Amino acid sequence: MKKTSINPALVGYLCALAATIIWSGNFIVARGLMDTIPPIALAYWRWLVAITCFLPFALKPTIKDWAIIQSHLPYLMVCALLGVTAFNTLIYIASHSTTAINLSLIAITFPIFVIILARIFLTEVLSMNKILGIILVIFGVLLLVSKGQLDNLLALTLAKGDIWMLLASICFAGYSILVKYKPQGLSSIAFQFSTFLLGMLLLLPFYLWEAQTHSFSITQMTSSGLSAIFYVGFMASLVAFIVWGQAIEKIGPTQSSVTYYTLPVFSGLAAFLFLGEQITMLHFFSMILIIAGVLIAALRKKQSRN
Per-residue pLDDT of the chain (306 residues; tens, 9 = 90+): 455 567 888 888 888 889 888 988 888 888 888 888 899 999 999 999 999 999 999 999 999 999 999 999 999 999 999 989 998 899 999 988 888 878 887 887 777 787 788 778 777 777 788 788 778 877 777 777 666 776 665 554 557 888 899 999 899 888 888 887 889 999 988 998 999 999 999 999 999 999 888 777 787 788 888 898 999 999 988 888 788 878 877 877 666 766 777 777 788 888 888 888 777 787 888 878 877 887 787 665 444 344
The pLDDT assigned to 218 comes to: 82
Ordered DSSP codes for the chain: -PPPPPPHHHHHHHHHHHHHHHHHHHHHHHHHTTTTS-HHHHHHHHHHHHHHHHHHHHHHHHHHTHHHHHHTHHHHHHHHIIIIIIHHHHHHHHTTSS-HHHHHHHHTTHHHHHHHHHHHHH-PPPPHHHHHHHHHHHHHHHHHHTTT-HHHHHTT---HHHHHHHHHHHHHHHHHHHHTTPPTT--HHHHHHHHHHHHHHHHHHHHHHHHHHHT--GGG--HHHHHHHHIIIIIIIIIHHHHHHHHHHHHHHHHHHHHHTTHHHHHHHHIIIII-PPP-HHHHHHHHHHHHHHHHHH--PPPPP-
Q: What is the pTM of this model?
A: 0.79
The pLDDT assigned to 302 comes to: 44
